[in-house]
Amino acid sequence: MNVNPATAPRVITVDGPAGSGKGTLARRLARHLGYAHLDTGKLYRAVGLGTLRSGGDPAAPADAVTAAKALDPGAIAGGSLEDPELTGDRAASAASKVAAIPEVREVLLSFQRDFAANPPGDAAGAVLDGRDTGTVVCPDAGAKFYVTARVEERADRRHKELLGRGETSIYARVLADMKERDVRDSTRAVAPLKPADDARTIDTSDLDADAVFAVALEHIASLS
């Protein structure tokens, strides 16, 4: 499937719940198109972990906002989001708490919009993935995806990923955590997880990564 680089959308958003495969799709699209990629969940994870590291409570707005303001765009551009602790469950749980605080979202909004408008490394475009990149961060994005899958399937993927890393994991607990996080992400008052009206939804429950990529590319080609 050919995408015309001259007319391809410059900003692509990929939203969806944990374990849906949105990150895999976003990274692959960015690589294919030569675009910069921003995993916006990592920003919330960095704020959550930053709050914990400074002895604060991720559910306390004052503590979380202080950590959000302390994020350094220069350090982020330099790779601070590659910190392996950010992928852990401690960071995930703290992230979903700070993400419910409107002032934290406000602080992160300008960083994300700036990334989309001026992608680093002189890239011709940007792919952002998260929960609200198509609804709130970049409502004018040229292509939007909402990637989802059955919660049991998403929990199974996460469980296997943890086991693959040599960590202990109990499927029932992973499933319960995921359900809890889904509820928190989709029922919060500000920027809840939901598809943008103009997003193309892809259910990845029964698709592998190659098939998901092909569906997405076909959609982008149809827009370019």
- Under the rule (CB under 6 A), what is the footprint of ligand DC? 18, 40-41, 44-45, 92, 95-96, 99, 130-133, 181, 185
Q: Looking at beta carbons only, is 3 or 135 nearer to ligand DC?
A: 135
Q: Looking at beta carbons only, is 1 or 209 nearer to ligand DC?
A: 209
Ranges of beta strands (E only) in the chain are: 11-15, 36-39, 126-130, 143-148, 200-203
For residue 182, the minimal CB distance to ligand DC (Å) is 9
Q: Looking at beta carbons only, is 33 or 92 nearer to ligand DC?
A: 92
For residue 99, the minimal CB distance to ligand DC (Å) is 3
Q: Looking at beta carbons only, is 122 or 197 nearer to ligand DC?
A: 197
Q: Closest by alpha carbon to 101, among 56, 144, 139?
A: 56
Please state the three-class secondary structure of 72-136 as a single string. CHHHHHCCHHHCHHHHCHHHHHHHHHHCCCHHHHHHHHHHHHHHHHCCHHHCCCEEEEECCHHHH
For residue 1, the minimal CB distance to ligand DC (Å) is 27
For residue 128, the minimal CB distance to ligand DC (Å) is 8
For residue 97, the minimal CB distance to ligand DC (Å) is 8
Tell me how far the alpha carbon of residue 224 is from its chain's centroid: 24
Q: Looking at beta carbons only, is 52 or 92 nearer to ligand DC?
A: 92
For residue 72 the two structure tokens come to 């350094």
